[in-house]
Structure 1
Amino acid sequence: MPYNIAMVSDFFFPQPGGVESHIYQLSTKLIDRGHKVVIITHAYAGRTGVRYLTNGLKVYHVPFFVIYRETTFPTVFSFFPIFRNIIIREQIGIVHGHGSLSSLCHEAILHARTMGLRTVFTDHSLFGFADAASILTNKLLKFTLSDVDHVICVSHTCKENTVLRASLDPLMVSVIPNAVVAENFRPLDQPSPPGDSGTVLTNGSRPSKPPQNLGPNDIITIVVISRLFYNKGTDLLIAAIPRILAEHPNVRFIIAGSGPKAIDLEQMLERNVLQDKVELLGSVRHEEVRDVMVRGHIYLHPSLTEAFGTVLVEAASCGLYVVTTRVGGIPEVLPAHMTTFAKPEEDDLVSATGKAIAALREKKVRTDRFHEQVKLMYSWTDVAQRTERVYDGVVGMLGEEEFYGSSSGGWSATRGHAGVQSFALIDRLKRYYGCGIWAGKLFCMCVIVDYLLFVFLEIRSPRSSIDIARNWPKKSVQNQNGTNGDGLQPSGRKNERVNGKAIYTLE
């Protein structure tokens, strides 16, 4: 059964990142499976209004004020009129939100439930329970997930974290990991797919293949690609680099990424005079990540918290040996022979990196086999199929026992068929009221105001006055009848490219 789905999040292209890539790849695969998908996100510099990406994926860039790390200012209600208009225009039946810190995601789920739509939430992050920021975030998450139909987490560790933070029944949470397009992350010795002329760097040259049979004096290159934030372990990286280079003179670093910790990294290089051994690339686009990775032998990931870590899969697919911290869901990502783990401590990270260098020099690791192994482990098509099954469950296509694996007869009476949430306002208020002595009352007030706003909008702007958008025509034969190399028949002009694919904007 085809569904009309709206993916909602503050985090999407052109900003690079794991959540952004997840939404894009999942959406394109769902479209390939016959569903209609639109994406709702905020406007970026030079990107406002409606855009079309490859395969007819429509993106609504809503002009909202961004306050921190591409997150919009939470308004609760002002997003509702625009959101309702998009939902009616596109005839959406399922709203799928992404990201615990996305204001648009939380607001969209609230408004979708008020409009009588099925909702799904995907959590991509881990949070604590003690600091003020985590407490506020967890309370907001509990508010949103009190009335959501189903939750998806990207790892089992992430599921445990989300269940505790939002006080969820574990049956409501599924684990569907991220994936990688293995063809886009090939080692240099792998043949290019048909129509691909191979990797070309921004200066017009092609990256040289690093030697695989390393001698005792050969240079080993360590690659780091990460946002330079505290939670990504940038402070740990800054402390470890001088020690690693001191112990291993024939090692070089390539670091790509940007963030507030970039200035600290540059100061460390100047203080230790390491500019000739550490190359800083700054921010790189996602389609350039592979070009950077294939220049190295080891991928270093010193993160302090991570729900999954898609970049680890990308690095292994490129034939890099991975050194990473044993935190969050990272141990679930790759098998042991591809990874050396370290505690999130300076001494242990330096020691683990030394072990990885020795393993490569002594030929104890066969990195040339990593690409084919990763290709068999991760597939976006599999992710789309499993997500589609979640949609089948929340709309009632699957029986309760078939969807949840066991009967949920002991659950609250406010739940409907197959354990999904009831739309009745009184049942919604009961769920929100149980979120806390004071928070519960505040949440109930928000829901009541949201419902009254919905009634006002239905009267003030009836559905009959909103034009229904035409669906993107399904492609039948590529590269014929005026289609371009991406198999598109664009109605607008070509604007730019994302992940090597053309983007079109309406005139």
Structure 2
Amino acid sequence: MKLLILGRSYPEVETGMVGIFEYEQAQAVSNLSENKISILYSFCDNRSIFRLRRINSILKNDSSIVTYGKYFPIGGVPNRIFDKIKSKLSVNILRKAIIKLGKPDVIHIHFPIITLTEEIWEYLVSLGSKIVITEHYSRVQNKELTVQQIELLRKIAKRADKFLCVNEFLPKSIEELTGVQRDFIIVPNVVAPIFSREKETKNDVYRFISIGRLVKDKKFDLVIEAFVKKFKDVTNVELIIVGGGEEYTNLKKQIVSLNMEHKIRLTGFLKREETAQILASSNSYVTASSFETFGVPLVEAMSCGKPVISADTSPLKQYISEERGFLFKVDNLESLASAMEKMYEQRFINKSYEIAEFAKMNFSERAIAEKLFSIYSSCINKEVNKE
């Protein structure tokens, strides 16, 4: 099987790890060794120069994945000019990629509103390959698209052979935006193998950990408030916040103003391996984010056997039972503080194995890769049966 995957970018620390969800799925499928799959991962990263300070093409061969893409920051220019440049660059990249791979049997497109334009979409359709879409985008879930983007999404929803979403909320938003009723398949994001209970380490203090981009919507300030409310005078309890972003300075000031530097630590942005290591030495994971399309750090924590706390609006709430953690009322300080106190008291010491096994069954490389391979195969087999 020849598979062409379109993502937003190639995940590197220097570029903010954009593209990590797409690329890790590609790796998961590649690692499904009993299936012979040739994978070409392609991207055209056109973020603003303020976010992406790089102009170059890349060609990489990581085991069984060939990556071919381009960094060309033009974000912020007028839409008509942006689409024209992006279309020309992307189609050129794809043509070269297909020369290397040959015509793909399946094209899997992630974040279609970001990775596609009308011209790119029409080019891909013209290839006659089966097309699988995965929607992750928060702007789609919030229905914050332009008229032009809605029209593109409508065309995609009508034509795609399979349409996947990372949560149960996205299909409803897509139907409401486009007026297209079709079947959707829920396929979660994958958890990388480095997030594993096998790497668990002991720590002398009880450690809450929270991970993510430091932006207002993630509500790290609320996590800090809740922690201080219940644990200010409790010894051997700490809060670690992993991530970088625009709210770093404000959160630092908040911690200092509360005289909690000895109990609350901001690590800044960490590499994946470093995040996995600090997560392995933590006791429980907490997020106060008021909006997510998925919430990868939460399932990474579960994969490490950690119980979790999340808002009751989380798209992952169906996975959070009392055996695996607690839900709290979104944006409610008292509810979050009580959940953290309850977590500290119960500890979940004997639940680590069950939590990790549950995550493995639902989010591991193998679990997701098998779902994806089944979807790809069904597309191809359907065509064969027609013939």
Q: TM class by shorter-chain length?
A: 0.7 to 0.9
Which amino acid is 2:162 matched to? H
**Is this contact kept in 1: 2:41–2:68, CA < 8 A?**
yes
Among 49, 61, 66, the residue aligned to 2:69: 61
* Residue 49 (str. 1) matches residue 58 (str. 2): yes
Question: Which one-letter code corresponds to 1:12 in the other structure?
Answer: Y
| Residue aligning to 1:277 | 263
User: Could you say if the C-alpha distance between residues 159 and 368 of structure 1 is closer, same or farther in structure 2, counting changes exceeding 3 Å?
Assistant: same
1:383 has 2:376 as partner: no
Match of 1:120 in 2: 132
AA aligned to 1:96 is: H
- Separation of aligned partners in 2, 1:251 and 1:160: 41
Identify the match of residue 252 of structure 2 among 266, 280, 292.
266
Q: How far apart are 1:8 and its partner, in Å?
A: 0.7
Q: Can you list the C-alpha shifts for 1:369-406, whole angstroms capped at 9, x where unaligned?
A: 43344334443223223222322333453699xxxxxx
Asked if residue 97 in structure 1 is aligned to residue 84 in structure 2, the reply is no
Is the partner of 2:207 in helix, strand or coil?
Answer: strand
Cα distance between partner residues in 2 of 1:138 and 1:352 = 40
Q: Give the Cα–Cα distance (whole angstroms) in 1 for the partners of residues 74 and 223 of structure 2.
A: 29
> Retained in 2: the 8 A contact 1:97–1:108?
no
CA drift of 1:367 comes to 2.7
Q: Is the 8 A contact 1:12 1:19 kept in 2?
A: no
Aligned equivalents of 1:276 and 1:107: distance in 2?
Answer: 55
Residue by residue, what CA displacement relative to the aligned partner does 1:13-53 show, whole Å, maximum 9, x if unpaired? 11436624543433423675211111112367497320111
2:327 corresponds to 1:352:
no
Query: Structure 1 CA distance, aligned partners of 2:178 and 2:322?
Result: 32
> Partner of 1:209 in structure 2?
202
Secondary structure of the structure 1 residue equivalent to 2:260: coil
Name the SS of the counterpart of 1:254 in structure 2.
strand
SS for the counterpart of 2:250 is: helix
Q: Label 1:162 to 1:353 Cα distance change in 2 as closer, same or farther (>3 A).
A: farther
Deviation at residue 257 of structure 1 after TM alignment = 0.6
Partners of 1:136 and 1:264 lie apart in 2 by: 37
Asked if the contact 1:228–1:260 (Cα under 8 Å) also holds between the matched residues in 2, the reply is yes
**Other-structure match for 2:39:** 37
- Residue matched to 2:169: 157
Q: CA–CA distance in 2 between the matches of 1:298 and 1:135?
A: 43
- Structure 1 window deviating more from structure 2 (136-145 vs 340-349): it is 136-145
| Aligned mates of 1:333, 1:105 — CA distance in 2 | 35
Aligned partners of 2:208 and 2:238 also within 8 Å? yes
Q: Distance in 1 between matches of 2:221 and 2:250?
A: 8
Give distance in 2, aligned partners of 1:98 and 1:312: 21
Residue from 259, 276, 286 that aligns with 2:272: 286
Distance of 2:221 and 2:23 partners within structure 1: 26
Task: Provide, for residues 24-83 of structure 1, a one-character-per-residue CA deviation record: whole Å limited to 9, x for no partner.
Answer: 433423675211111112367497320111x23111121321538xxx954453132332
After the TM superposition, which of the residue ranges 339-348 and 110-119 deviates more from structure 2? 110-119
After superposition, the Cα gap between the structure-2 partners of 1:320 and 1:62, relative to the gap in structure 1 and judged at 3 Å, is same
SS in 2 for 1:102: helix
Match of 1:4 in 2: 2
1:77 has 2:87 as partner: yes
CA contact (8 A) 1:313 1:333 kept: no
SS in 2 for 1:337: coil
Distance (Å, rounded) in 2 between the aligned partners of 1:298 and 1:292:
11
* Long gaps (5+) in structure 2: 46-51
Higher mean alpha-carbon deviation, 316-325 vs 14-23, is at 14-23
Distance 1:384 1:369, change over 3 A: closer
Residue identity matched to 1:301: T
Name the aligned partner's letter for residue 95 of structure 2: R
1:392 maps onto 2:385 in alignment: no
* Aligned match of 2:17: 16
CA distance in 2, matches of 1:343, 1:168: 33
The one-letter code of the counterpart of 2:312 is R
253-262 or 9-18: bigger deviation: 9-18
The superposition leaves residues 165-217 of structure 1 with CA deviations (integer Å, 9 ceiling, x where unpaired) of 3333232x21222333456422545xxxxxxxxxxxxxxxxxx6125xxxxxx
Q: CA separation of 1:231/1:25 partners in 2, compared to 1, >3 Å: closer, same or farther? A: farther
Name the count of aligned residue pairs.
368
- Equivalent residues in 2 for 1:212-223, closer than 5 Å: 219-223=205-209
Q: Equivalent of 2:196, from 176, 185, 188?
A: 185
Identical columns (%): 19
Deviation of the 1:114 alpha carbon:
3.0
CA contact (8 A) 2:302 2:359 kept: yes
Q: 2:164 aligns to what SS in structure 1?
A: strand
CA distance in 2, matches of 1:182, 1:63: 28
**1:302 equivalenced with 2:288 (yes/no):** yes
1:110 to 103, 107, 122: 122
Q: 1:134 to 1:291 in 2, by over 3 A?
A: farther
* 1:311 corresponds to: 297
SS in 1 for 2:185: strand
Secondary structure at 1:146 match in 2: helix
Structure 2: how far apart are the matches of 1:235 and 1:110? 45
Which one of the candidate residues 246, 249, 252 is aligned to 2:238? 252
Residue ranges of structure 1 left out of the alignment (5+ in a row): 190-207, 212-218, 401-416, 419-507
Q: CA distance change for structure 1 residues 386 and 129 in 2, over 3 Å: closer, same or farther?
A: closer
Letter in 2 for 1:6: L
In the TM superposition, what whole-angstrom CA distance separates every residue of 1:146-168 from its partner, at most 9, and x where no partner exists?
Answer: 33222111233333333333333
Q: Kindly tell me: are residues 349 and 135 of structure 1, through their superposed partners in 2, closer, same or farther at Cα, counting changes over 3 Å?
A: farther
C-alpha contact 2:361 2:367 (8 A) present in aligned 1 = no
- In structure 2, the CA distance between the partners of 1:23 and 1:295, relative to structure 1 (3 Å rule), is same
Describe the SS at the equivalent of 1:273. coil
Tell me the CA shift for residue 350 of structure 1: 1.8
In structure 2, what residue type is equivalent to 1:278?
A: I
8 Å Cα contact 1:186-1:317 kept in structure 2:
yes
Structure 2 distance, partners of 1:222, 1:105, is: 43
Worse-matched range after superposition: 119-128 or 339-348 = 119-128
Aligned partner of 2:355 among 348, 363, 370: 370
Equivalent residue, structure 2, for 1:331: 317
SS at match of 1:169: coil
Are the structure 2 counterparts of residues 256 and 105 from structure 1 closer, same or farther at C-alpha, using a change threshold of 3 Å? Answer: farther
